[in-house]
């Protein structure tokens, strides 16, 4: 998946899950939550020595 999907998952919204439920017709669009606002997320990229 793209990096944007990983970051929005950290904000509390699971896009693939909700999209599949919406397409399948098992959930109403009004029930799908919005991402949490005010949360700062970022990718952590550093070398780790094991």
- Buried b / exposed e over 4-23, threshold 16 CB at 10 Å, is eeeeebeeeeeeeeeeeeee
Q: What is the Cα–Cα distance from 50 to 47, expressed in whole angstroms?
A: 10
Per the listing, tokens 């669009």 go with: 29
pTM metric for this prediction = 0.51
At residue 35, the pLDDT reads: 72
Q: Which two tokens stand for residue 1?
A: 């998946």
Please tell me whether residue 46 adopts helix, strand or coil conformation.
Answer: coil
pLDDT digits (tens, 9 = 90+) for 1-50: 456 666 666 666 777 888 899 999 999 989 888 776 777 766 667 666 66
């Amino acid at each position: 998946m793209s990096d944007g999907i990983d970051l929005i998952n950290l904000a509390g919204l699971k896009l693939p899950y909700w999209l599949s439920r919406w397409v399948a017709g098992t959930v109403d669009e009004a029930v799908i939550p919005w991402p949490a606002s005010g949360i700062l997320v970022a990718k952590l990229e550093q070398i780790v020595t094991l």
